[in-house]
Structure 1
């Protein structure tokens, strides 16, 4: 859960288009549980704003002057506890894999609907990830291009129980907690425990990194059927 005072989600918006920043700020500020604490027009300013204000969520444009979003998310996720949602104009953006690998918790199109923007901020602040099926498929496609065969399962995955490893595989396929619960025939509360244990034992930031790990560690063969 987010660290804001009285349950308020603190947000920084970073985009080089003032109209995008002001539009998103107006939508979010209208919510009683969300506060926009700063805006930034380039990558360097975004990193500085995060360091100064320590927000719960950073909405970060991928393409910006002085420092692009990929480098900015890499710094923010390495140095702070802020969760990052990347903003993009195109759903076929080339930088999905790099941004997720750097620590981003998901993606939003700039023409996102008002309600979806608000929900996305709340979801990410609560520790979940915006790993939509379309993004998952693109991630898998990128993995197929990057490696011709699955890597052997490393010894550090031995810290997981059999159920936790099953949960990791299903996370890699982009399933929600409810879908994982149905697949494993357990309660959602049990799934949340499994997911929490997976993230903790493997020192992963969120479900996005868990999905990447499932593919990189060979638990799922890229290109295979779910």
Structure 2
């Protein structure tokens, strides 16, 4: 897989990041457009009308684009950057990952809980292991990714992962191959980029939403 969870043989147009100047597949970038009021608007689903402005999905790149208002230069017109743009992008990506995992769960392609996940791993049903970044190291080390480090999603908090499974908290989850697995991996890769500091240490931001159930 390449950055963003894309298979190497899968067609994915390259776009240039306005912060790094480097071109890369769209899967690893965040698209922005100019809103009717001249504000920068994140287009996380890539469907809003208008000329796209792309920023690599890393905290460093996005912070640079905001601090220097590189959006205006790319759009060749003055744009206003909302004060909470970085927070809004991170929260939006977190919601997308949570929603996609929830959809996979409803389709029978995702499970949570140490014993269920362990069973899937032992039976080779799990393609991706999901572990909350704020779970204890001892808990997380009990289970290992089925295909090595590239098959681990670790950018969600226990509350966010729990939200995807309709419970208060969850430390372990797993995705089966097929279904929404590829989309979850792609969106999680973008979120992980925003939740990783330059030195590689991951941190947690705001949660994707409020829990509605406990279990």
> Normalising by structure 1, what TM-score?
0.32
Larger helix fraction of residues: 1
Compare relative contact order (CA 8 Å, sep 6+) and give the higher one, 1 or 2: 2
